[in-house]
Amino acid sequence: MSKRDYYEVLGVARQASEEDLKKAYRRCAMKFHPDRNPGDAAAEASFKECKEAYEVLSDANRRRAYDQHGHAAFEHGMGGGGAGAGYADMGDIFGDIFGNIFGGGGGARGPRRGADIGYVMELTLEEAVGGTEKQIEIPTLDECTTCEGSGSADGKLENCDTCHGRGQVRFQRGIFSMQQACPHCGGRGKTIPNPCADCDGQGRVERTKTLQVKIPAGVDNGDRIRLAGEGEAGPVGSPPGDLYVDVRVREHEIFQRDGDDLHCEVPVRISQAALGDSIRVPTLEGEVELRIPAESQTGRLFRLRDRGVKSVRSRKTGDLYCRIVVETPVNLTVEQRELLEKFEATFVGDGARRHSPRASTFLDGVKGFWDRMTS
């Protein structure tokens, strides 16, 4: 069977950079590594194919020869470069790969830990700002209570015949001498002669776990809370994973949050905006008084210091910004309509412009626009 193109094997373009090649090889190796696919001959073959492709393309001389002659470059000693050429970065890559697979830096240190679990928790704005405690239920793999996680019905364990109790085996792949978790005992170094019937010797069973989660005051959308050891139970002899709670804050009917600041719109009557008034506005701690100066316009912003959110990180407190909106009255009575008509009649001629600064600015802009259009 003819070999596949090395660039095709790694899934990169022919002009791929060294970093692109390294990333592609890492992805490929993580996907097809034999320890992630035990007993899968096809995956092992793909892993070897990826490794061979990277060994050639990561070396400048061998890559140049391959680009010129293809696979034929290496069939009769062509291409230059010694047997070890281009392998300088391989240790780093294998260190990354094995570190991810086995949970340690560059080598197997024992059985894999349990998987991490993600949970999305919805909170009201008040809960997020003030902090709360929530009870949640999570379907997960939990420690078997029958055998207390040992996997053994009688508590007896024996040294693994394959690794002789070390939990690790060493093997040779080409020029590399590697160490990995023992495939027979899963890196535990022990085997179970009499497995627990409830968990089939795994030390963990499927169960819905109930937890109390404490949410600190000041959290916001996208914040993540880590509960160490509350993820899936690990296989026999290995530690559990972690639980990560992602915070989602529901929209509030009054306030909009921007970091540690809060914003809200406050409707006021025409008379209040024109004459000025003191009104009551909501905050998260209760109502406070806000003074509206006379002749205030829609959109005017008022800042209430330290009425926002106390930051979960810096412990500083944000502000509350109140934007007033002058509201047009509706459902007028006959008397109210007559009063407004009399009021409107006072706005006559050019004198009316001084009472409506925004309208005057708008009309001046319109006049300038039409003058430019007709000139």
- 318 within domain boundaries: yes
Residue 201: which of 249, 164, 151, 156 has the closest Cα? 151
- The 10s digit of each residue's pLDDT in 225-283 is 999 999 999 877 678 999 999 999 999 999 999 999 999 999 999 999 999 999 999 99
Mean pLDDT for the stretch of residues 128-154: 91
Closest C-alpha among 224, 239, 244, 243 to residue 103: 239
Q: Is residue 237 part of a domain?
A: no
Kindly state whether residue 300 falls inside one of the protein's structural domains. yes
Whether 109 is in a domain gets the answer no
Domain count, the chain: 2
Phi, psi of 119 (to 5 degrees): -140, 130
Nearest to 255 by CA among 318, 184, 348: 318
In the prediction, which pLDDT does 92 show?
Answer: 43
**Does pLDDT of 353 surpass 70?**
no
Local structure of residue 290 (DSSP, 8 states) = E
Instruction: Give residue 86's pLDDT.
Output: 37
Q: Which of 46, 73, 102 is the last residue of a domain?
A: 102
Residue 274 has, within 13 A of its CA and on its CB side, a CA count of 9
Identity of the residue numbered 335: E
Mean per-residue pLDDT for 343-347?
85
**Which residue in this structure is represented by tokens 């996680």?**
149
**pLDDT of res. 91:** 41
8 Å CB contact between 110 and 237: yes
Within 203-294, residue ranges assigned H as helices are: 270-275
Averaged confidence pLDDT in the chain? 83
Is 358 part of any domain?
Answer: yes
The DSSP code for 286 is -
Relative to beta strand 288-292, strand 261-269 is unpaired
Among 68, 102, 136, residue at a domain's last position: 102
Query: What CATH number should be reported for the domain holding residue 67?
Result: 1.10.287.110
Structure-model confidence comparison of residues 84 and 259, the more confident one: 259
Q: Containing domain of residue 28, as a range?
A: 6-102
- pLDDT (0 to 100) of residue 109: 47
In a domain, 150, yes or no: no
Instruction: Point out the domain boundary residue: 86, 102, 118.
Output: 102
Is 361 a member of any domain?
Answer: yes
Domain membership of residue 169 (yes or no) is no
CB atoms within 10 A of CB 229: 13
CATH of the domain at 366: 2.60.260.20
With a cut of 70, say whether residue 77 has pLDDT above it: no
d(CA 102, CA 132): 37
